[in-house]
Amino acid sequence: MFQANMERTKQTQSENETAGTDTAMNGLHFDARVKMPGWSTMPKSAGGAGGSASTASSSVMESWREERTRSVEDNEMSLPSIAAAYTTILRGLGEDPQRQGLLKTPWRAATAMQFFTKGYQEKIIDVLNDAIFDEDHDEMVIVKDIDMFSMCEHHLVPIFGRVHIGYLPNKRVLGLSKLARIVEIYSRRLQVQERLTKQIAVAITEALQPAGVGVVIEATHMCMVMRGVQKMNSKTVTSTMLGVFREDPKTRDEFLTLIRS
Active-site residue identified among 114, 191, 193, 199 = 193
Is 191 a residue of the active site? no
Active-site residue identified among 218, 223, 247, 254 = 223
Is 223 a residue of the active site? yes
Is 152 a residue of the active site? yes
Is 230 a residue of the active site? no
Active-site residue identified among 95, 155, 194, 218 = 155
Active-site residue identified among 95, 121, 137, 152 = 152
HEC profile for the chain? CHHHHHHHHHHHHHHHHHHCCEEEECCEEEECCCCCCCEEEEEECCCCCCCHHHCCEEEEEECHHHCCCCCHHHHHHHHHHHHHHHHHHHHHCCCCCCCHHHCCHHHHHHHHHHHHCHHHHCCHHHHHCCCEEECCCCCCEEEEEEEEEEEECCCCCEEEEEEEEEEECCCEEECHHHHHHHHHHHHCCEECHHHHHHHHHHHHHHHHCCCEEEEEEEEEEHHHHCCCCCCCCCCEEEEEEEEHHHHCHHHHHHHHHHHHC
Is 155 a residue of the active site? yes
Query: Which residues, 6 or more positions from 207, have their beta carbon under 8 angstroms from its beta carbon?
Result: 124, 128, 132, 174
Is 206 a residue of the active site? no
Residue numbers annotated as active site: 152-155, 193, 221, 223
